[in-house]
Amino acid sequence: MTQSRFPTQPPDPASPGPTLDPRAVEPSRPTSSSVPFARAASTNSMEDETLARAQAGDHQAFAQLYSLHKRRIYSLCLRMVGNLAEAEDLTQEAFLQLHRRIATFRGDSAFSTWLHRLTINVVLMHLRKKGLAVVSLDEAMEPAPEERAGRSFGAPDLALSGAIDRMALERAIDGLPAGYRLIFVLHDIEGYEHNEIASMLDCSIGNSKSQLHKARLKLRDALRIDPRQEARR
């Protein structure tokens, strides 16, 4: 039987048959720290087989990998850049990079972790090309006087409600300056440690901590003035 090696649509992961449900194989936070390398082998056997076939050049298998990981990768790109069109482009670039390099994956880490890291590198390269100065700018990252953490002292009525509205937080994150958003997403959402972020962004660990702190302060300010949050009070 002749089978198309390259389907026009990737297989639906929700359909019966050998395709895996991505929810069953994709960790919610596949980071190097939160997802151990020895991820449950039993749940991965089918993905491993698909991966091996994709590494051997089977495009049907590559399409299956796309179906398994597309949501996670697209969501990661979207969160990092906050723009739908860019997220699409970056997801495409990430999977193209994956296609070029999949044969080099040796299984030293979980595939999802490797792909996650590959995607972050794609996004970082993109941001660097755009001129986003998130690297090696310790001095430039010194806060402007009005941004100093100390601006908070003396401010009354500081407490947020205690339960932050998810949509309000998403809006606030989207509104962060790109550099702040990047570090906030990497640390607080993706779960990377400061030393890992420093390595990725080629900045100091102290810089990463400082940027994260400032990002959280900005989010706090944004959440306090979010009109929809205010209306609820």
Partner 1 sequence: MTEDPNNLSCAAFQARLPELIGSGENIAAHPHIQSCEICRALLADLMTIAEAARQLFPIVEPPDRLWEQIESAIRNEDGGSVQP
The residue ranges that bind partner 1 (CB under 8 A) are 4-6, 8-10, 28-29, 59, 62-63, 66, 70-72, 74-75, 78-79, 87-88, 91-92, 95-96, 99-100, 148-150, 152-156, 158-160, 162, 164, 166, 169-170, 173, 184, 188-189, 191, 194, 205-206, 208-210, 212-214, 216-217, 219-220, 223
Rounded Cα distance between 72 and 81, Å, is 14
Rounded Cα distance between 182 and 203, Å, is 13
- When the beta carbons of 131 and 154 are compared against partner 1, the nearer one is 154
Residue 230 CB, shortest distance to partner 1, in Å, is 16
- When the beta carbons of 88 and 138 are compared against partner 1, the nearer one is 88
Rounded Cα distance between 149 and 52, Å, is 50
Contacts with 10 (C-beta within 8 Å, 6 or more apart), sequence order: 63, 64, 66, 67, 70
Residue 108 CB, shortest distance to partner 1, in Å, is 25
Residue 11 CB, shortest distance to partner 1, in Å, is 11
Rounded Cα distance between 42 and 39, Å, is 9
Residue 152 CB, shortest distance to partner 1, in Å, is 5
- When the beta carbons of 45 and 199 are compared against partner 1, the nearer one is 199
Rounded Cα distance between 132 and 98, Å, is 24
- When the beta carbons of 45 and 161 are compared against partner 1, the nearer one is 161
CB-CB neighbours of 24 under 10 Å: 12
- When the beta carbons of 108 and 146 are compared against partner 1, the nearer one is 146
Element (H, E) at 124: helix 111-129
Residue 138 CB, shortest distance to partner 1, in Å, is 13
For residue 119, give the nearest of 86, 160, 166, 162 by alpha carbon.
86
Question: Using N-to-C axis directions, what is the helix angle for 41-55 and 59-81, rounded to 10°?
Answer: 110
- When the beta carbons of 20 and 219 are compared against partner 1, the nearer one is 219
Rounded Cα distance between 56 and 51, Å, is 9
